[in-house]
Structure 1
Amino acid sequence: MSRESTADSGSNDKKFPGKKNWRPFVSLIRQAKPSMAMLAVALTFSLIATVVGLFVPLFTKSLVDGFTLDSLEPGQIVLLVGVFIAQTLTGGLSIYLLNKFGQQILSGLRDLLWRKLLYLPVSRYDSEETGGLISRITNDTNVVKQVVSEHLSGFITGIISIVGSVVILFTLDWQMTLMLLVAVPLTLIVLVPLGKKMYDLSRSMQNETANFTSVLTQALSEVRLVKSSNAERIEYARGKSGITSLYGLGVREGKIQAIISPLMGIVVMALMVVIIGYGGLRVSNGSISAGELVAFILYLIQIVMPLGQITAFVTQLQKAIGATERMIDILGQEEEDHDRGVPVPAADADIIFENVGFRYAAGDEILKGVSFAVPAGKVTALVGPSGSGKTTLFSLLERYYEPQVGSVTYGGYDIYGFSLRDWRGLIGYVSQESPLMSGTIRDNIAYGLERGVSDEELKQVAAMAYADGFIEELPNGYDTEVGERGMKLSGGQRQRIAIARALLRNPRILMLDEATSALDSTSERVVQDALNNLMKDRTTIVIAHRLSTVVGADRLVFLEKGVVTGVGTHDELVSSHSLYREFAEQQLNYREVAAI
């Protein structure tokens, strides 16, 4: 992937053409890798039940035409009971196996999507709503599962039942059979356009469900912000809008169903009236027997009932095709390859940004010819006004994006040529908020490490992060649940957990993004002491808005609107850089600055 395409990938969404056929659906099913042998067995059981059922009307015909108490033999009764039992057993086994097959598809698709979403580059999430992606995994996959586990068998056996019944009916009375078949094309004339409308409606339903899920996810995940801002009414209105839209789409779907179901009922009733009336006439004049009329009516039922199943399958298939489009789009996107690339050199080295230019997808240029060095084993601070590109430089260093212009090298090698797993394994990152995952303190300190972590290691890094004191005071110690996003802990405690996590990784490169700016003075002192332990003998890059935290850095890089306008120590920049001196005078003791 080129650097240009990586940065702009958010604007180049692949658009699935939306062909209204079953090929994309079948392709998606194959990717889930369900047991096709299980499907074959399930459908075989369904076919057995269907074929056995085709002979019941003929058996009934014989009973009606030649029925007397003396002619009723025990063997006939046993045979009839056996047929019904066989139908019941094979039908039950088919339903169970198809449901299990559907669950395999559901599990397989969710597994594919979940893995794909985790390995997509960060740039993909710039143009995607989180709730929409969640909806693809939860709602859309279930739609695909339903069409296979609940409707496929009825569709296939329905066709067999219809074909078999029609063939037998032709042998009984071809004239009555032709009258029956006239209703089929008339019904299709109405059902085909309705199927197209159902397809379009299903696409709208899936997209609206994804949008609604996104609204819920955003509001509930940031519920504290909602409440502190008195925004309940605003969020309720947003959610209500989605509910109303889904209601409207559901009503439209109901209208289509309201046409299909009565139509099928009218067809059934009309055919029954015609067959009974015309058949009764033919029985009266001796053209057919009463048993043949009864058999004809039973076969009519075996034709009409599957028509409803086939209609349900086609309707659900239209929904599934609409649901598969975005899933296929997501699965077709290029993901990060963590293992491609060369190993990172073993020795510490300088990081060099050389003439780096970068813009986000369809946005203004954020970095413009940025060049500076990050010396190995030293502390380099990025300072400057908000929006100058400091966080973007961190994103490039983490390889969330690639610059369109210039290079970032480590020891003379382009960092984008290194194995992504190795490169990110060298980096320890402590952000301003230091989010935690739901789970225990132990889980969060060891988060991301595949190796086992001993209690001794945990306690050692917790002590270095000045987190051991409050952890040991908690009722369950390291096994204390931190809550969603760590909200059961204070800001200072979360920061110290994040520092302990970074210490446990023993990173070669340390990135600190305003790690103490959100803390009170007491917590800040403790966290700063922990950071000093973490920064010792490491290549450290710090984003700072408060100069008091970085005046002692080995090198400061001043950025303005994506351009480096000054590089040096604090003293050098105070003397040579007017805007930095202004920052220093505003934030530090004025006399101290003036005396420099």
Structure 2
Amino acid sequence: MNAIETNERQRTIPPKNKNNWKSLATLINKAKPSKLMLAIALSFSLVSTIVGLFVPLFTKNLVDGFTLDSLESYQIVMLVCVFVVQTISGGLSIYLLNKFGQQILSGLRDLLWRKLLYLPVAHYDKEETGGLISRVTNDTNVVKQVVSEHMSGFVTGVISIIGSVIILFTLDWQMTLMLLIAVPLTLIILVPLGKKMHHISRNMQNETASFTSVLTQVLSEVRLVKSSNAEPIEYERGKSGIDKLFKLGVREGKIQAIIGPLMGIVIMTLMVVIIGYGGLRVSNGSITAGELVAFILYLIQIVMPLGQITAFFTQLQKAIGATERMIDILSQSEEVQDQGKQVPSADSSIALKDLSFNYDNGEAILKKVNFTVPSGKVTALVGPSGSGKTTLFSLIERYYEPQGGSISYGNDEIDEYSLASWRSLIGYVSQESPLMSGTIRENITYGLDREVSEDELRTVARMAYADGFIDELPEGFATEVGERGMKLSGGQRQRIAIARALLRNPRILMLDEATSALDSTSERVVQEALNNLMKGRTTIVIAHRLSTVVDADQIIFLDKGSITGIGTHEQLVVSHELYREFAEQQLRYQEQLT
């Protein structure tokens, strides 16, 4: 087993023991909550429960021998002490269990958030963002609830029932046996209903994840929705999710509506039987009135926890379903940032040899691609849409692993370098130029782990021709750009992205149609900024405009995943028919603009 495989095994959780409580316990253990805190919390809860078991016995003695003369002050003090201890213990238990649950919630969210950040890009091609968000927010909360809100009730409920039954056998074994007849009757009711509740709960979690996904997609692209007059369509999509959740909620309510009254009938029947049969035994002297009162109080201490135990198992089933989905994410192999050697300091060319790639074993996107990107030169990728240009960029950035062939930098293949080291060489400017919500300064310095001085910031802004519009803004570099940079124009976002790339001072520059979405005025300014950025750097550019590639040192023409031409603009115009058509179309387009 090599070092990378070992590292990945250490950083993942194997999806073992699915569909049972062991997987839940394993997941909770990964969150690293304080086990001492749990032990103390359960101890306080047990103290509160055990102390409460003595109250009916005290009541029995009080009823059997009650007179004002026989009521001793120490009895009142003891009763008060019992209630105080029970109250304090119960309060401390609730607080500590809640804190324990919050530790689990925080730990699981930390695990999932880190995992999501380090998962490869290929994972996000298959998973919807909203579903992943639901794992981090909803599923983790389900696990937290089963521990902080229901586990204590389950443990103390079991202790309360066992303790009450033992004491009842000492008081009157015949009445106790009559009482226990209700147990199998209760299980006959609860078990099948519990299974149905589990099925509904799992569907509810899945539908919640789907609904969250719809919300995320629509709200993040609300401008597209409005420009396409798609509000009615998206309303129907959302309404469909809402209706499904409503129907599942109603089904859950139906089962609860059955469980509640049936349990009520069982309890009332028991009360009537115990009171009636107990009254008969009191009248013939078999038991005292105090023992009958104690029996009724212990019956309550048996019946009340049944609801808590039922709620615990219902929530446990939900938590197991949530656990499966979280373990599925945590078991995925992640990108290992620090495994491998550092990239050498000397600039080198990038060589692609017999490079082949396809997505999920589908149609081949790249077919045995061979070319070299010379160091310090500009290489342009040209070709019709779908020819594999953007995929080449993704492979060079190591978002995906090729199915065949290799990419080398200098004497070594790029997968021998650590990801962090390799990606630190690359500056990337795309057509969309995505920005994060925050200030202009935060976006220019995004991803850097060092302090950036005001002079550095102004220098790169000036080289990117961004200083002019930034200085005109009331808050300058502290201006908020809005979600995805929507408060700025396309040209302004591009120039901020160029300033960000300049600040990184990359050896390799990758430009993905960086000016194709701009008007002619913005294009000229951005192109001047790009010229500043490209000086002395190894540059690979994807372009659909002739003006972007005509001065390139090398042009690669891609068609259906294969290279059909390599050369300068002048060479390809003469030798490559498709490139000549591309150049002529661009010239006609430019003439129309002028």
Per the shorter chain, which TM-score range? Answer: over 0.9
- Partner amino acid for 1:427? I
Aligned to 1:192: 191
How far apart are residue 89 of structure 1 and its match? 0.7
Contact 1:215 1:238 in 2 (8 A): yes
Aligned to 2:172: 173
For 1:560 and 1:42, how far apart are their aligned partners in 2?
Answer: 67
TM-score (norm 2): 0.96
Contact 2:146 2:312 in 1 (8 A): yes
Aligned to 1:267: 266
Aligned to 1:88: 87
- Partner amino acid for 2:397? E
Residues 471-482 of structure 1 correspond to what in structure 2 (within 5 A)?
471-482=470-481
Contact 1:18 1:325 in 2 (8 A): no
How far apart are residue 257 of structure 1 and its match? 1.2
Secondary structure, counterpart of 2:126 in structure 1? coil
For 1:557 and 1:576, how far apart are their aligned partners in 2?
Answer: 13
- Partner amino acid for 1:76? Q
Contact 2:557 2:564 in 1 (8 A): yes
Q: Deviations over 1:442-483 (max 9, x none)?
A: 000000001111111100100000001111111111111000
Residues 286-325 of structure 1 correspond to what in structure 2 (within 5 A)?
286-325=285-324
For 2:525 and 2:120, how far apart are their aligned partners in 1?
Answer: 35
Q: Deviations over 1:58-86 (max 9, x none)?
A: 00000000000111111111111111111
Aligned to 1:340: 339
For 1:264 and 1:16, how far apart are their aligned partners in 2?
Answer: 38
Contact 1:440 1:478 in 2 (8 A): yes
Aligned to 1:11: none
| Change beyond 3 A, Cα 1:344–1:315 | same
Unaligned regions of 5+ residues in structure 1, if any? Answer: 6-13
| Change beyond 3 A, Cα 1:284–1:399 | same
| Change beyond 3 A, Cα 1:390–1:309 | same
Deviates more, 1:20-29 or 1:217-226: 20-29
For 2:254 and 2:27, how far apart are their aligned partners in 1?
Answer: 30
Secondary structure, counterpart of 2:506 in structure 1? coil
Aligned to 1:512: 511
Contact 2:171 2:291 in 1 (8 A): yes
Does residue 391 of the first structure (1) align with residue 390 of the second (2)?
Answer: yes
Does residue 161 of the first structure (1) align with residue 160 of the second (2)?
Answer: yes
Secondary structure, counterpart of 1:267 in structure 2? helix
- Partner amino acid for 1:229? S
How far apart are residue 260 of structure 1 and its match? 1.6
Aligned to 1:8: none
How far apart are residue 503 of structure 1 and its match? 0.2
Does residue 150 of the first structure (1) align with residue 149 of the second (2)?
Answer: yes
Contact 1:352 1:373 in 2 (8 A): yes
Contact 1:548 1:588 in 2 (8 A): no
For 1:580 and 1:94, how far apart are their aligned partners in 2?
Answer: 75
Does residue 457 of the first structure (1) align with residue 456 of the second (2)?
Answer: yes
- Partner amino acid for 1:452? E
For 1:178 and 1:165, how far apart are their aligned partners in 2?
Answer: 13
Aligned to 2:570: 571
- Partner amino acid for 1:457? E
Aligned to 2:65: 66
Unaligned regions of 5+ residues in structure 2, if any? Answer: 6-12
Q: Deviations over 1:247-299 (max 9, x none)?
A: 11111111221222122111111110110000000000000000000000000
For 1:363 and 1:247, how far apart are their aligned partners in 2?
Answer: 39
Count, aligned residues = 582
Which runs of at least 4 in structure 1 moved beyond 6 Å after TM superposition? none
For 1:119 and 1:21, how far apart are their aligned partners in 2?
Answer: 28
Aligned to 1:427: 426
Contact 2:45 2:90 in 1 (8 A): yes
Contact 2:34 2:100 in 1 (8 A): yes
Secondary structure, counterpart of 1:126 in structure 2? helix
Aligned to 1:123: 122
Residues 177-576 of structure 1 correspond to what in structure 2 (within 5 A)?
177-576=176-575
Contact 2:16 2:23 in 1 (8 A): no
How far apart are residue 591 of structure 1 and its match? 12
- Partner amino acid for 1:397? I
For 2:283 and 2:16, how far apart are their aligned partners in 1?
Answer: 59
How far apart are residue 21 of structure 1 and its match? 2.0
How far apart are residue 363 of structure 1 and its match? 2.2
Aligned to 2:42: 43
How far apart are residue 412 of structure 1 and its match? 2.3
- Partner amino acid for 2:246? Y
Contact 1:353 1:407 in 2 (8 A): yes
